[in-house]
Structure 1
Amino acid sequence: MKTTSLKKWFNAKDRTFKENPSSFKRGVVLAVRTMTPRKPNSALRKVARVRLSNKQEITAYIPGEGHELAEHSIVLVRGGRVKDLAGVKYHIVRGRFDTTGVAGRQTGRSKYGAKKSGAPKTAAAPAA
C-alpha cells in the first residue's frame, strides 16, 4: 500500500504516531486548487490540500464534474492515486460530509455520491 497517510493514527495523549491501517480518513480542506497533468495530457485537474485526522497533510483528487469544496470543508479521503498527477495518491469520497454528489450523474452513481434521479416511488394504495 503506497498510501502511507492512511496507515497511521495520532495519539494525542502520548503525542506519538501509531500504526493501524484504515480504508478511509476524515480531513479538513486547507486549500482547493488545480494542477496540470504530466505529458502528454493537458487539463486543469481539481485537487485539494487536506489535513487528515492524524495530523498529516496530503494532496487529494476531487473526482467528477463540479464541486462545492472550500477551505475548512470536512471530507472523507480514500486511497487511489491519479496516474497523471505527480504526488497525488488519494481521492476524496463524493457524497460524504461536506462533499456533495455529482449532480445529474446517470451512470456510475455510487462512485460519485449521486442519488437516483426520476420521480419518487410511492407505495401503491391497497385495492379496497
Structure 2
Amino acid sequence: MPTINQLVRYGRKTPKKKVKATALRKMYNSLTRKTREVPAPQKRGVVTLVKTMTPKKPNSALRKVARVRLSNRQEITAYIQGEGHNLGEHNVVLVRGGRVKDLPGVKYHLVRGTQDLEGVVGRKSSRSKYGTKKSGQSNAAAPARQSVQPAADVASATEEE
C-alpha cells in the first residue's frame, strides 16, 4: 500500500486494457511493405474457406465459420451468425470484433447484409443485427401517398366548377 507522499509524487497508474481483436488494429502498407498500428472498428476481407466447427464441452452443434484473409494480410477465423448463409470462397465480407464463447480461437464476427454476405431471410426480430430489411412496411405506405391529388389536378378541378 503506497504512502500519501508516494501517491502525491507518482500518482496511480491505470493498467492498460488488453485488446482481444488484435487483427483489427493493424494496417498493411503495400508500398512500403510494412504493418502499422491503426485501430479500425471493421475490416474488409476475402473468404478463403467456409466450414463448420463443434463447440466446447457442454454444448453440441455445428457452428458455421469462415476463414478470412483481411486487407492487412492477416488470416482469421470469423463466425457467421444467423440461420443460413450464401458465402463461398472468394466472397468479400466485412469483419467486426466479438468472440464466440464456445468456439476456441474465434474472436471475430461477419457483418450480415454488407458486401457479398446477404442478410438472414425471413428474420422478424433483431433485424439490424442480421442485415434484414423491413418487409411489407414500405409497400403499405405507397398507396396512401398516391391518394393525395397533385396540385395540377386540384387546379383543373376548381376551374371545371
Query: Is it true that 1:26 corresponds to 2:44 in the alignment?
Result: yes
Give the SS at the match of 2:76.
Answer: strand
Matches of 1:41 and 1:102, distance apart in 2: 23
Matches of 1:124 and 1:107, distance apart in 2: 30
TM-score (norm. length: structure 1): 0.97
Q: Residues 28-67 of structure 1: matches in 2 within 5 Å?
A: 28-67=46-85
Q: Residues 1-128 of structure 1: matches in 2 within 5 Å?
A: 1-118=19-136, 120=139, 121-122=141-142, 123-127=145-149
Report the AA paired with residue 49 of structure 2.
Answer: A
Matches of 2:147 and 2:136, distance apart in 1: 20
Report the AA paired with residue 125 of structure 1.
Answer: S
Shift in Å, 1:29: 0.1
Shift in Å, 1:126: 1.2
Structure number with the higher helix fraction is 2
Report the AA paired with residue 70 of structure 2.
Answer: L
Give the SS at the match of 2:147.
Answer: coil
Give the SS at the match of 2:23.
Answer: helix
Matches of 1:125 and 1:94, distance apart in 2: 37
Shift in Å, 1:125: 2.3
Matches of 1:124 and 1:106, distance apart in 2: 28
TM-align CA RMSD: 1.0
Q: When the two structures are aligned, how many residues end up with a matched partner?
A: 128
Structure 2: 5+ residue stretches without partners: 1-18, 155-161
Give the SS at the match of 1:6.
Answer: helix
Shift in Å, 1:124: 4.0
Q: Which runs of 4+ in 1 moved over 6 A?
A: none
Same amino acid, percent of matched pairs:
63
Structure 1: 5+ residue stretches without partners: none
For residues 1-44 of structure 1, give each alpha carbon's deviation from its aligned partner in whole angstroms, at most 9, with x where no partner exists. Answer: 20000000001111010011000000000000000000100000
Shift in Å, 1:117: 1.4
Structure number with the higher strand fraction is 1
